[in-house]
Amino acid sequence: MALAAASAACVVFLLLGVLVYRAVESSTAVQFDELLQQQAALALRYADHEYGEGDTVVPPAPQPAVTMPFDLIYQIGTRSGDILYSSRGAPQAALIADAGPGCTNVTVQGRSWRACSLGSTATPLVIHLAEPLDYRAALLSRTMRAVALPLSFALVLLTALIVLVTERAFRPVRRIAADLAARRDGDFSAVNTAEMPVETHALGVALNGLLARQAEVLARERRFTADAAHELRTPLAALRVQAQVAARAGTTAEMHGALDKLQANIDRTTHLMSQLLSLARLEPGSSFIPGQATEARRVVELVMEDLAVGLRDKQVALTLSGCDHQLPGSPEVLYLLLRNLLENSIRNVGARGQVALELAVRERYAVLTISDDGPGIPSSERARAFERFYRIPGSASGGSGLGLSIVGRIVELLRGDIALTSPAAGSGLVVTVTLPFTGAHAQARPAA
């Protein structure tokens, strides 16, 4: 980080140096040209005066007592191109062929000069004045060296400050990294963000949030694994016993009876495993796409095919209404929801029981109601009905205790509500699931 910031500072200072060089070069060139034009104007005024006195040739100017730091040459001529006077070192031909106003670069005897021409308004005289460009280059070089020294010092100082500030700013981050590297597996305690600067404090807060979520997921997985192991221990032990009974059966009837019980236990274990897998798919981090909607009839038909045997064996009367509406959610999620609700009702009703499924759409919500005439759930037990592996004390029906837990998790994913109530008359259970439509489906849903 410090190296990147220092590199960026070097690039900025390099660009700044280039811009300063261009600005100083342009500014000094303008100033030198203005000074050269002023000198030409003074010399022309003197030449005009001599020309007015009747002299045809301007006498040479006296040599200065002080040696100039650079050479200066000039020529005095007429607009027709005749040269009346040339200073020492000046060529015989005109310095500037086109005697127009302004300054230009010329080459005299292999040396580059900056020449300026100025014509008189009162006489036909024209003056050409030139100074060497190497003098300007030397002066610009001295100026840039004077500017480069403080810029270089500022760059070194800025780099040192960047390294110092970066080191101090990231010291808490390195402390957190060392703390995390030294932790044991499963340690999700929050890191200390009290000493972190404002720029990295949000990172520490986000890291603590991630650690808290991971701790929750790990705790949930451990609890799920422990519960699953506990619940699988009993059916697996029963399977072993039934297999041993079948192996030691003395008669064919005893063997068939043991095999029938073994098959029933296998079916219960298979159902338990299916429920466990369904619940695992609904855990945090599982794939779930919100904002979908599915035709209810499409899902209900699949559920009916799976539950046809149970309905036929118990001769349960199942009534359906409102299945032409849509339900919020994907087909896979809604299948688990409806199958577990209907399976729970079918399991708990007696022979020739009644189960009803009704779907209605109200404003922006789909309301799914499943009722049965079974024993129901006591009001004191309804709060725990959605816990994993929870079974109502004294319940005669089988089951893994996961059906309503799966339903509750699906309703949570779909951001809906679920309520367990008793029917207005008689015994039984009424499960009401309210699911909100989201996105385009909230507007495109059919009317109630």
**Is residue 164 domain-resident?**
no
Which of 212, 245, 279 is the last residue before a domain boundary?
A: 279
The reply to whether 331 and 244 lie within a common domain is no
Q: What is the pLDDT of residue 97?
A: 67
Q: What is the pLDDT of residue 64?
A: 40
The model carries a pTM of 0.47
The reply to whether 259 and 314 lie within a common domain is no
Structural domain harbouring 237: 198-279
Q: What is the pLDDT of residue 100?
A: 60
Distance CA 139, CA 137 (A): 5
**Is residue 427 domain-resident?**
yes
The reply to whether 225 and 104 lie within a common domain is no
Q: What is the pLDDT of residue 60?
A: 52
**Is residue 188 domain-resident?**
no
Tell me, what amino acid is at 10?
C
The reply to whether 371 and 414 lie within a common domain is yes
* CATH number of the domain encompassing residue 382: 3.30.565.10
**Is residue 236 domain-resident?**
yes
- In the chain, how many domains are there? 3
**Is residue 23 domain-resident?**
yes
CA distances for 400 relative to 78, 275, 283, 388, angstroms: 118, 8, 18, 9
Cβ neighbours of residue 97 closer than 8 Å, sequence gap 6 or more: none
Each of the 448 residues of the chain gets a pLDDT tens digit; together they read 667 777 787 888 788 888 888 888 888 888 888 888 888 888 888 888 877 776 554 545 444 433 344 578 888 888 877 888 888 777 777 777 665 667 888 887 778 888 888 888 888 888 888 888 888 888 888 888 888 888 888 888 888 888 888 777 777 777 888 888 888 887 888 888 777 777 778 888 888 888 888 887 777 777 666 656 655 665 677 678 778 888 888 788 888 887 887 787 787 677 667 666 665 666 554 545 566 788 989 889 888 887 888 888 889 899 999 888 888 888 878 888 888 889 888 888 888 899 999 999 988 899 999 999 888 888 878 888 877 766 665 565 555 567 787 788 888 888 899 999 988 777 889 999 999 987 655 555 544 4
Q: What is the pLDDT of residue 357?
A: 92
Distance CA 275, CA 281 (A): 10
Q: What is the pLDDT of residue 368?
A: 92
Q: What is the pLDDT of residue 58?
A: 52
Q: What is the pLDDT of residue 281?
A: 64
The reply to whether 18 and 114 lie within a common domain is yes
**Is residue 165 domain-resident?**
no
Which of 246, 279, 312 is the last residue before a domain boundary?
A: 279
Q: What is the pLDDT of residue 231?
A: 55
The reply to whether 387 and 422 lie within a common domain is yes
Distance CA 261, CA 204 (A): 58
Q: What is the pLDDT of residue 62?
A: 41
The reply to whether 37 and 133 lie within a common domain is yes
**Is residue 354 domain-resident?**
yes
Which of 279, 309, 344 is the last residue before a domain boundary?
A: 279
Is 232 in contact with 226 (CB distance < 8 Å)? no
The reply to whether 116 and 239 lie within a common domain is no
Angle at 135 (CA atoms; ends 133, 139), nearest 5 degrees = 120
Is 395 in contact with 386 (CB distance < 8 Å)? no
Give the torsion sign (CA, 165, 169, 174, 177): negative
Q: What is the pLDDT of residue 418?
A: 92
* CATH number of the domain encompassing residue 37: 3.30.450
**Is residue 424 domain-resident?**
yes
Q: What is the pLDDT of residue 65?
A: 39
* CATH number of the domain encompassing residue 246: 1.10.287
The reply to whether 328 and 353 lie within a common domain is yes
The reply to whether 16 and 129 lie within a common domain is yes
Q: What is the pLDDT of residue 272?
A: 60
The reply to whether 265 and 319 lie within a common domain is no
The reply to whether 116 and 152 lie within a common domain is yes
